[in-house]
Structure 1
Amino acid sequence: MNRKTLVLPAVVGLLAPVLAACGGSDGGSGGGDAIVVGTTDRFTATKEAPAPLDPAWAYDVGLWNILRQTQQTLMIQPRGDGEPVPEAAEQCGFTDTGNERYSCTLRDGLKFANGDAITAADVKYSIERAIAIQADTGVSSLLSTIDTVETQGDREVIFHLNTADATFPYKLSTPVAGIVDSDDYAKDKLREGFELSGSGPYTFKAETEGDELTKAVFTKNPNYKGTLTVNNDKVEMVSYADAETMGADIENGDIDVMTRAMTPDQIDELSKASGGAVDLVEVSGLEIRYLAFNTEAATVKNKAVRQAMAQLINRSELVSKVYGSQAEPLYSMVPATITGHSNSFFNEYGDPSVDKARALLQQANITTPVKLTLNYTTDHYGAAAKTEFEELQKQLNDSGLFDVDIKGTIWDKYREGQKKHEYDVFGMGWFPDFPDADSFIAPFLDKNNTLYSPYANSKIINTLIPESRREADRLSAADSLTEIQDIVAEDVPLLPLWQGKQYVATRDDITGTAYLLNSASSLQLWELGRGVSD
């Protein structure tokens, strides 16, 4: 029957280590037809982005959802919440008291999907390759605390860090740390197109039309050796141009699972329905949306303009009108469920106030109304993006202090335009690299940030981020993390808007959907199987 299933992350986190320990590629239901998963993520190989599936380049939740099925990493994020556990490694850990020397021992008998043996030298090659290529996506910044990589024999890899980094185990669970075969991946060149190989639970085959990946076919890897139980023989991921067509196909039984991004209306309808063959699964998620500023642009260079926007925007009204119960207002770049979160923007600005915003602009001698264009992408963060920006436009313009236009652009052009500083103000979304406050701070505020932002606060970069990374107990990092969030609320290089939940819809004969997504929005396709309809 049609029902709504709520996955409780606290329970998932408690169960994860026990379940992960039961791994191996055997077991599970397996067999039967391929399980077909729909997504509105679009995958293209263009002149600007010729190697979308190279682990040394990819830095996008959709691309990572492909790589995580095929590229094995030393560590892996478990079902739901929880700290990373060994995957290609048999064991890993810091071997010093300062969190600067991290050692991993590989599982015995690891092989790539083609049957070639994996040694510590392959791990060293893969990590050093990603660092050396320095792709313009900024993904190599996740490995920036690595000084040197050492091997001892065929199974031990030692990472010598240039600074303490308690988050390093998480970083080794991300696709940029995926183990690649030097026969397939050149040392100093990206692997172009949609070719992909590794040692993960699946092998990969791409079906394409022109420069676009239309279907990703994942077939169970017989040579896989790790912690995961693979519950199916084949999964096909189909890319849709819109959520409405995807929704029609799951109702008709043409696909089995529907993932990001469903529309708010689709989610609302599925949550209320009481019959049929499609189930809605809700997972507490860490997706955030925010506005970013080119702080050198003439229109927003004066931080009083940015502060006035922070003072005016009514997050509760925005969420209520556009996303309903599917999102919550966010007052920091760090979500409310993450250790180290602080409501810094609410502490700084309180409730929305036209009078306070006007005073900020007057004190800075800013002429009103301030003319701005808010930019957003039309095809990457769901169908509600336009409605969201229309509401932001209305709120700012109704104050009389701003004269705002909005402009939508397809993702490929949007991302390139953002890199080239073509937008003064632009909307972005973020799915964390891993569930830790560092993943909501460093990518935007550290050196070589992923937004190509000119904003650089020396105290954040040189003192506060390094301080926070020294603390293995993340509660002990709270002071440094709170100060970072307070600085962001004062300077407003970024303006957090909301934190969203995660949803998947499935035909009711599909099992394992409660664990299909982890807290970082990573797909775990190996969890899916076919069972008996309820």
Structure 2
Amino acid sequence: MGIPRWRRWLRNKVSLPVRFLSLTLLCVLLIVSCSRSELKTSSTNRDRIVIGTTAVISTLDPADAYSIFAGNLLYNLGDRLYTYAANSTNLEPQLATALPTVSADGLTYTIPLRRGVVFHDGTPFNAKAMAFSLQRFIQNAGSPSFLLADVDTIQPTGEYELTIQLKKPFAAFPSLLAFSGLCAVSPNAYEIQAGAFKSKTFIGTGPYKLVSYGTDQIRLEAFDRYWGTKPSNKGIDVQFFSSPANLYNAFRTGAVDLAYQNLAIDQIRNLQEGAATNGWQVIEKAGSGIDYLTLNMQSPPLDKLEVRQAIAAIVDRPILQDRVFAGQIEPLYSLVPNTLDVQNPVFKAELGDGNAEKARQLLIQAGYSDDNPLKLEFWYRSNLVNDQLAAITLKAIAKKQLGNLLQFELKGVESTTAYKNLDKGAYPIFLLDWTPDFLDADNYIQPFMECSKGAAPNQCEEGSSFLQGSFYSSDRVNQLIEESRKELNPAKRKQLFNDLQTALVEDVPFIPMWQSKDFLFAQKTIQGASLQATQKVPFWTLKLQLN
């Protein structure tokens, strides 16, 4: 919970290898790489629903799965102690029957569990099974195991009561328990042993059971003994496509019922424009992912506050929204997205968008002029086309608004190399993205602003800001983060996050850029299609209506 999450970026690059490629490039891909996947489910087999995606997954073992789309599948195959209410960021019990009872010191969580639940193999669910599942998540030491690093003990304290002891208080712990991989798995089908994973099987308690796992297709069937609301369909075929172009064409021709992740900007726009004529459903939702600039505060002249403020002031998010992303993102003015009610858009109020006058004033104050311009390297991930387009646009904005006063030198590097070198201080400015593990403001603040060891201000030696390549260090911010993790009162906690966002805009170690949007496309014959704030698609509500 307090360990930085750099593997998330590597995960995202597996599932989003060419995020939002341009349509022109996709046409080339279509010619040279026709199709990795031909549909194995006939379009006439109408008792099942076909979902198309370009996502790539390597495992469905919840103790090791750490990709966005694998999480989506686990969301439908399994149940967790808590989940998010439909179309909401509010927690509700799932395998639990109530929110936890928390001890006065914030360390002990007592959770009552649901009765009458069985696993897909018929094994009864109880507190021992839930404890086994969480202990396996930790001890098998898979990619996401660090999420429970601050858990001390997990004990069944009754047949249907679970008690979890933390090493230190963490107010967002119930939200963390909604993470897709923290689902119950059958003790008779899995073992606790480091590295002992079952990547192509899944035995849980969810509304679907896994019946086949192939290279190009995964098949789910409705679980007839599911304790909750039964699925509105008999089963789901998830079809994997080798490129966004292939997925786009499959949806347009009706070969798939739904398309989700990762169509290109032009393709999304074309489907939006053709929706009325073709009866396509376009489900659009503010995403949980964010993009931001990390500023290396140990790299002169970024050690000067005025320089960091000037860069933040000249950023013009609405131009990026319109010219690069065709409206398929939302401007972001805090590291906390607008889907959470604690967000305070501090950068909009304090520094604005494309505020050339303020940026010029700050740069002059920092000692720069047209004869002595500020020249800065601006780094982006070269394998992500839209990152490059955003960087080019930002350079053009600075040139147009400030002339020669601020000059960005654009430099690209492949994602994996970038992540390895961030904490080495190699990059003055870097455009990056972030996808949370759970929906709580803590997961947008602590992984950025916390410094666990720093000898002097902005000289972080260990912790989140160190690994982010910002090296930001503030005793006050560290204290506020600690208090926010202890505070259980929502109103007081909201105020703490407000103070943290104020510190963010006062110190500018990061510049929030934009918040993602998620898109799900469904044929007119599909009912019940929806997108959740967690980027999840509930399969059980999908229904085929042929008449």
Q: Into which bin does the TM-score normalised by the smaller protein fall?
A: 0.7 to 0.9
Distance 1:415 1:35 in 2: 38
**1:130 and 1:304, CA in 2 relative to 1: closer, same or farther beyond 3 A?**
farther
Distance 2:428 2:201 in 1: 36
Distance 2:279 2:353 in 1: 44
**Paired position in structure 1 for 2:410:** 405
> What's the TM-score once normalised by structure 2's chain length?
0.77
Distance 2:202 2:418 in 1: 26
**Paired position in structure 1 for 2:448:** 444
**Paired position in structure 2 for 1:526:** 540
**Paired position in structure 2 for 1:105:** 112
Distance 1:180 1:412 in 2: 32
1:14-33 equivalences under 5 Å are 32-33=46-47
Please report how far the alpha carbon of residue 355 of structure 1 lies from its aligned counterpart in structure 2 after TM superposition. Answer: 5.2
Q: Is 1:243 aligned to 2:252, yes or no?
A: no
Q: 1:329 aligns with which of 301, 326, 331?
A: 331
Amino acid at match of 1:42: V
Distance 2:382 2:527 in 1: 34
**Paired position in structure 2 for 1:21:** none
Amino acid at match of 2:505: A
Please report how far the alpha carbon of residue 530 of structure 1 lies from its aligned counterpart in structure 2 after TM superposition. Answer: 0.8
| Gap runs ≥5 in structure 1 | 1-30, 46-51, 209-213
SS at match of 2:131: helix
Distance 2:476 2:195 in 1: 33
Amino acid at match of 1:254: A
Distance 1:298 1:56 in 2: 42
Distance 2:303 2:539 in 1: 45
Q: Which moved more, 1:75-84 or 1:141-150?
A: 141-150
Distance 1:450 1:258 in 2: 37
**Paired position in structure 1 for 2:517:** 501
Larger Cα-atom Rg: 2
Distance 1:438 1:288 in 2: 14
Percent identity for Structure 1 against Structure 2: 26
* Contact map agreement 2:139 2:192 (CA 8 A) in 1: no
Distance 2:99 2:244 in 1: 41
Distance 1:530 1:420 in 2: 53
Q: 2:437 aligns with which of 426, 433, 440?
A: 433
Amino acid at match of 1:159: I
* Contact map agreement 2:74 2:181 (CA 8 A) in 1: no
SS at match of 1:175: coil
* Contact map agreement 1:386 1:408 (CA 8 A) in 2: no
1:406-426 CA distance string (max 9 Å, x none): 4264x6666566688765543
Q: Which moved more, 1:248-257 or 1:33-42?
A: 33-42
**1:486 and 1:512, CA in 2 relative to 1: closer, same or farther beyond 3 A?**
same
Amino acid at match of 1:199: T
Please report how far the alpha carbon of residue 470 of structure 1 lies from its aligned counterpart in structure 2 after TM superposition. Answer: 4.2
* Contact map agreement 1:250 1:278 (CA 8 A) in 2: no
* Contact map agreement 1:41 1:239 (CA 8 A) in 2: yes
Amino acid at match of 1:177: L
* Contact map agreement 2:525 2:546 (CA 8 A) in 1: yes
Distance 2:424 2:229 in 1: 41
Amino acid at match of 2:221: T
Distance 2:423 2:78 in 1: 27
SS at match of 2:98: strand
Please report how far the alpha carbon of residue 345 of structure 1 lies from its aligned counterpart in structure 2 after TM superposition. Answer: 1.6
**Paired position in structure 2 for 1:311:** 313
**Paired position in structure 2 for 1:20:** none
**Paired position in structure 2 for 1:463:** 479
1:304-338 CA distance string (max 9 Å, x none): 55433212211121112123443332110112342
1:164-175 equivalences under 5 Å are 164-175=169-180
Distance 1:60 1:473 in 2: 32
* Contact map agreement 1:37 1:235 (CA 8 A) in 2: yes
Please report how far the alpha carbon of residue 518 of structure 1 lies from its aligned counterpart in structure 2 after TM superposition. Answer: 0.9
Please report how far the alpha carbon of residue 234 of structure 1 lies from its aligned counterpart in structure 2 after TM superposition. Answer: 1.9
Amino acid at match of 1:270: L
SS at match of 1:180: coil
**Paired position in structure 2 for 1:320:** 322
Cα RMSD over matched residues? 3.3
Number of paired residues?
A: 482
1:468-519 CA distance string (max 9 Å, x none): 2444453332321112112222333322112243321111111111x3x211
**Paired position in structure 2 for 1:6:** none
> What's the TM-score once normalised by structure 1's chain length?
0.79
Q: Is 1:375 aligned to 2:391, yes or no?
A: no
SS at match of 1:407: strand
SS at match of 1:495: strand
* Contact map agreement 1:71 1:199 (CA 8 A) in 2: yes
Please report how far the alpha carbon of residue 350 of structure 1 lies from its aligned counterpart in structure 2 after TM superposition. Answer: 3.2
**Paired position in structure 2 for 1:276:** 278
SS at match of 2:72: helix
* Contact map agreement 1:251 1:278 (CA 8 A) in 2: no
